[in-house]
Structure 1
């Protein structure tokens, strides 16, 4: 019976198969072990205190740095500081730098003309000024803009009788080139940042815990909305949970690695269609001794990080999301989204976040592994994808198996399912 159930459970994962409501559930499952639903999880979560997320669903970290004394460190890396500014401040700095530079050199050009007496001989045709047709501060400001931007309208021109003007011209040309390189480079990096590329990388709203290949697994789904792919994509996950050591030290927001295939290479993704990322709950997993009942009492957060290079630009992109303990559904499985059409595969993103209930043991993975080592029998699993048979036939089949086995199950502790 259990072998048939596993076959039907595996069939639910095939491409193009949609989830169906189970027609009949065996009597043991109906009477003794109710399957957890979203509502039961909501009721159990009502007693929990509202907690602050370590990371938002959008990937924004809710960590603010306060009482920073060594603020000069930001100025030591001025380029990165400007790139990290918000767009409104970045544009303000961009405008102010150019405006102040033009005003500064415009004032110097006006000061040279004032000291030389060019402004007092505007009507004297025999007088050779430092800059022709410079009659005041406004015209000096315009000449500064023309010099730094190399526009050259041809009306105001520097003469060879002004050595101090020639030196100032060289200084402004060099400093103007540096300012252009710095600010244009800053704006280019700001525009080409791959942060917006992460907006088209999707994570499922919930994570689920269910059986896969006869093992309890924690799973979540990732997908890419664009046709251009993420090159060398990799996934990793962290468990954020407060911890107290054996010595009594309290560690808030302790980070623990969650293995999502690092040792087998499954963490390297070919993200063409949505993928279900699976974490096998084994002896090395932080969820090894966590049952469904304990899950409803725990307080933790799972942070998932997807990294890769943008195919179009070659720049590294990172997308992040998180799952609170209330967003981990025990006994659920993701609805298939991939179907085979004529000459292509189609992804239905309407079902990307959808899950359906599946029969899953409520005990922890440690108890489940121990029961299998001791040869204990699990209760019959319902076949969610089964199309034939009635409740009476299933009960008769169950009774027939019980009669054939005799009293083989007597005296053995039954694993809760």
Structure 2
């Protein structure tokens, strides 16, 4: 009974509660055995005992007949019910009472690199027409194919209609059976034949059935005009399609980033790290890595800056941002005094709301065009105290890279404090070590057998006798003179100075 009524201040993590036998009803017994105040709720998730204050009425003393195992099982069931209630308090409820998950932070850049920004209320749309080539290249494939087909079809129809109009105005359609009549274009007897002649002229096919004659100067001018405009349309549209097909955006699909970023120690310094790799055998020439911190802030003047961009150094000063991306690399950002994560600890990281955008730029070796791959990491995607698993092994004659472990991480011992606190602790240790070593050296220096005998200061009688016996100056070990010049000489000679004032006396 004394064991049952005792208070348990803590519970070890390895404590396992016995399961009640069949036929028993621990939940009903818990209702009967509810203590008045200070109920101990044992939580499996927290690993310790949580005390809650309740206002249940006192129960009769017959509950003391329950065994200790039954009481612990009842308290465990009550703790589970209390935990479920706490989980449901902070969640929103839907239409039918289902709990809604917490809304995730809106990404500025998606994981696939697409920027989640849409431009609206733009009144200067004419600027798109001034750069029509880039506008056509930026269109999606459906619109690009539509523009490509319509560009040729409209020009063919336009010049076909003009050829038909010329034949109609000259009367060529009225003299189709007259062999003595010389038409502008042979074998043009309607709009369809004029349209086919327009196609042959613009595409330079030249079947030879429909031919322009020398009796139509207007047709000759129109033929030159259509040939020139047709070449321009052909060059423009084929160029747009070629650039769109060979865009380096598709090359960025084979540049992959790790699913999570990690924070752990490297050379006794906290570092933010993520992994990047290239799936193709053709390399990215001149690969360069950049990183940005996207976070809203408020200035000292009260100005609110949404989605403020702060640069995160990944080795710009040392040249580590220039990559030789042959195998997957781990990009590291050292959290120092210039880093935006200088004051961020593990607990603060769980409360922060930010986004890290990483950008990899380089030149495609096959085409010579510059490509850019992007990704981002939210605050909940940054794992504190983790490290990336190794994925490279030495095979027979080559290095084998296992991309199955590209996103794998494992936990390592990492302090949960911020980089500032870690640096201060290291500085204190170094200062304590420095002063302890210097103090020991001073003790050994001044407590030596020879120096202790010499450092004994003579009495007044001894100094007077020495003055009488010797004519030279008196040497005093460790003495301090009054003038500044004598103190400097004493420091240079190992704190052994000459008392000139007594010698002159």
Tell me the TM-score range normalised by the shorter chain. 0.7 to 0.9
Task: Give the whole-Å Cα distance in 2 for the aligned partners of 1:274 and 1:51.
Answer: 29
1:370-389 mapped onto 2 (5 Å cutoff) = 370-375=424-429
Task: Give the whole-Å Cα distance in 2 for the aligned partners of 1:49 and 1:135.
Answer: 70
1:166-315 mapped onto 2 (5 Å cutoff) = 166-315=220-369
- Secondary structure of the 1:307 match is strand
User: What are structure 2's unaligned runs of at least 5 residues?
Assistant: 1-13, 15-45, 47-86, 92-100, 432-505
- Secondary structure of the 2:429 match is coil
Task: Give the whole-Å Cα distance in 2 for the aligned partners of 1:109 and 1:297.
Answer: 74
Which deviations, in whole Å up to 9, do the C-alpha atoms of 1:315-355 show, x marking residues without a partner? 10100000000000000000000000111000000000000
- Secondary structure of the 1:339 match is strand
Task: Give the whole-Å Cα distance in 2 for the aligned partners of 1:160 and 1:100.
Answer: 27
Question: What's the counterpart of residue 158 of structure 1?
Answer: 212
Is 1:79 matched with 2:142? no
- Secondary structure of the 2:351 match is coil
Aligned residues: 337
Task: Give the whole-Å Cα distance in 2 for the aligned partners of 1:188 and 1:50.
Answer: 40
Task: Give the whole-Å Cα distance in 2 for the aligned partners of 1:207 and 1:291.
Answer: 15
1:213 deviation in Å?
Answer: 0.6
Of the three residues 185, 200, 205, the one matched with 1:146 is 200
Structure with higher Rg: it is: 2
Task: Give the whole-Å Cα distance in 2 for the aligned partners of 1:60 and 1:355.
Answer: 26
User: What are structure 1's unaligned runs of at least 5 residues?
Assistant: 1-29, 31-35, 37-42, 378-417
Q: Greater RCO between the two (CA within 8 Å, min separation 6)?
A: 1
Question: What's the counterpart of residue 3 of structure 1?
Answer: none
Of the three residues 384, 389, 392, the one matched with 1:338 is 392
1:51 deviation in Å?
Answer: 1.4
1:376 deviation in Å?
Answer: 7.9
Is 1:97 matched with 2:176? no
Task: Give the whole-Å Cα distance in 1 for the aligned partners of 2:102 and 2:141.
Answer: 39
Cα RMSD after superposing both structures: 1.8
Question: What's the counterpart of residue 66 of structure 1?
Answer: 120
1:4-83 mapped onto 2 (5 Å cutoff) = 49-83=103-137
Task: Give the whole-Å Cα distance in 1 for the aligned partners of 2:400 and 2:250.
Answer: 25
- Secondary structure of the 2:375 match is strand
Of the three residues 89, 112, 115, the one matched with 2:166 is 112
Which deviations, in whole Å up to 9, do the C-alpha atoms of 1:283-335 show, x marking residues without a partner? 00000000000000000000000000011111101000000000000000000
Task: Give the whole-Å Cα distance in 1 for the aligned partners of 2:281 and 2:104.
Answer: 39
Task: Give the whole-Å Cα distance in 1 for the aligned partners of 2:138 and 2:422.
Answer: 49
